[in-house]
Amino acid sequence: MSWMTVLLTLGVALIGVGGVALGAWLNQHGAAAVAKQNFEGQRLLARDAALRDWRKQQIAPYLEAATNRTRIWVEMGHATGANDRTRLVSLGERLKDYHFDNLMVTYLAIPDDAFRAAFQKFLLAEGKLKPTSTYTKEEAWGVIMKMRSALVDLNKAAEHFIGLR
């Protein structure tokens, strides 16, 4: 009986030690797997954030220029309504924007078909420029409405390109 008690005690002790060792091993490997998964997730999040930031930087000049150009046209619409010829001439000078002219050429390098199409639509909305003092109120506001619609489409395309939608 005493041998049996000793063997039983040793068996229980071995099972206990084995269980503790197995638990420690599982805990260590489980923690390592979770840490690896968290690290990979953080790396992917950082990569995606950097890609979104790069895309924003690529299209920011186009959105800013399109918004500014639309503002100039809205001012032209108000000036045509007020028949303010000197203001129209001043606004016509602001439309001679070489930065915008460069963007008209370089937008083709944006790596997104929808954004390029939306910017092309914005360019077409303005139409062929003529001397600003010759626009009637109706002509100016017609251009403005087309430009506003195209600007909305351009912003939607930008959000899609950046990855916000």
10-residue mean pLDDT profile of the chain (165 residues): values are: 68 68 68 66 82 91 95 92 85 88 92 95 90 85 95 96 76
pLDDT for the residue numbered 70: 95
Torsions phi, psi of 127, nearest 5?
75, -170
| Phi-psi domain of 83 (left: phi exceeds 0; alpha: psi -120 through 50; beta: other) | left
Which residues 6+ apart lie within 8 Å of 73 measured at CB? 126, 140, 143, 144, 147
pTM over 0.75: no
Give the pLDDT score at 161: 93
Instruction: State the pLDDT at residue 46.
Output: 85
Assigned token pair, 69 = 């150009």
Residues composing the chain: 165
Q: What is the pLDDT of residue 145?
A: 96
